[in-house]
A = this chain, B = another copy of it.
Amino acid sequence: MRVLVLGGDGFCGWPTSLYLSDRGHDVTICDNLSRRKIDIELEVESLTPIRTIGERLHTWREVSGRTIGFVNLDLATEYDRLVALLLELRPDAIVHFAEQRAAPYSMRSAATKRYTVDNNVRATHNLLTALVETRVDAAIAHLGTMGVYGYGWSGSAPIPEGYLTVKVPTPDGDLEREILHPANPGSVYHMTKTLDQLLFAFYAKNDGLRITDLHQGIVWGTQTDQTARDERLINRFDYDGDYGTVLNRFLMQAAIGHPLTVHGTGGQTRAFIHIKDTVRCVEIALKNPPAAGDKPMVLNQMTETHRVIDLAKLISDTTGADVAYLPNPRREAEENELIVRNDQFLALGLDPTTLSQGLLAECTDIATRYMRRADLTKIVSRSVWRAGMETSGDLMTELPEA
């Protein structure tokens, strides 16, 4: 398959690009390197020393003998170049990761709220419009989020795969109707993914575009079989309060002797997936697109659910790390249940990778290897959901002696 990976330099995009290339697909990455630029803005770096995209691609050629193309293009603002690229490449499939993906960053300031909405909505809409205009018949697999559903909305009922069958009361009795699961986003970032869903529904209906929306859980882990082949291929590891995500942050914190930062009670239950499964899921989705005329296919890209506090305790038990309860900068329920359906992925052949000591240790090893690169002032989450909400000071000021 000729695959165009939009956002192929990011945390999920890079390992996905390598995996697809390794599996024999003809991959081109399109990325404006915005994630690296946001690092500069936040004055933080990936814990792992990621190389330039040029060196990454050169290394991959050296290691695998395979070539991945690269185009530096801003999907949100360079529409004409996108059209030209689609006409030149005529991809069979497009993976769309090209959105600002951190909830805390999206809530930092008016500027980051606006950037998140402007960038994400325009990136997605430009892609859809360009496919209609060029008549390039590529299936899209888009990275959505489990966060579109919200948490606790349907009590103990499992979260379905995108669509919910409800009964609508009418004067003539109940009508059964299938609806897109009601949107309950918890941040501006999550909200943009609920906007994407409405764009997808319209363009699938009006123009017959073939779209799969992957509602992904929280990704953990760093390396895949491909990124581990050479240090120069190493994937990002975000540990900071904006871009770092909960399980990876705990593992990094344990590695450097920092208390595990639980914001709120830790009663939040969330869905998780290992990065090695992310890349597999994307290929499965690309190989099983919906037909033209179908509504968007929605797959819940996750393999297990955990309460935050249970993860903290697990890691604390294994490593001896303390647990610190910090004020929650988010406005969210203190606790929730979460049961999620992923039947379609299982039926399509996904063999889930779940939490194991081996994988946790792999992550801790990486964090330990690069711990000297950590900036301790970046660990506590301080992007608040409303002005004036309380935040914590730093919990640790020096790394342990080498």
Contacts and interface: CB of A to CB of B under 8 A. Distances in A.
A41 interface: no
A185 B167 contact: no
Contacts of A174: 167
A228 interface: no
A126 B114 CA distance: 7
A191 B198 contact: yes
A174 B198 CA distance: 26
Contacts of A206: 331, 385-386
Contact of A207 (B135, B177, B201, B386): B386
B202 A188 contact: yes
A117 interface: yes
Nearest to A385: B206
B122 A110 contact: no
Contacts of A121: 117-118, 121, 195
A132 interface: yes
A339 B385 CA distance: 40
A8 to B, nearest CB: 23
B169 A155 contact: no
Contact of A155 (B133, B175, B179, B182): B175
A72 interface: no
Interface residues of A, number: 53
Nearest to A191: B202
Interface string A103-137: 00000001001100110011001100110110100
Which one of A170, A171, A179 has the highest number of Cβ atoms from chain B below 10 Å of its Cβ?
A: A179
A180 interface: yes
A207 B110 CA distance: 13
A183 interface: yes
A367 to B, nearest CB: 33
A396 to B, nearest CB: 31
B110 A132 contact: yes
Contacts of A201: 183
A110 B135 CA distance: 12
A392 interface: no
Contacts of A331: 205-206
A170 B182 contact: no
A201 to B, nearest CB: 8
Contact of A110 (B129, B169, B195): B129
A199 interface: yes
Contact of A164 (B122, B168, B195): B168
13 contacts: A110-B129, A114-B125, A117-B122, A118-B122, A118-B125, A154-B177, A155-B175, A165-B169, A167-B174, A179-B179, A188-B202, A206-B386, A207-B386
> Lowest 3 CB-CB distances: which A-B pairs, in order?
A157-B170, A166-B166, A167-B167
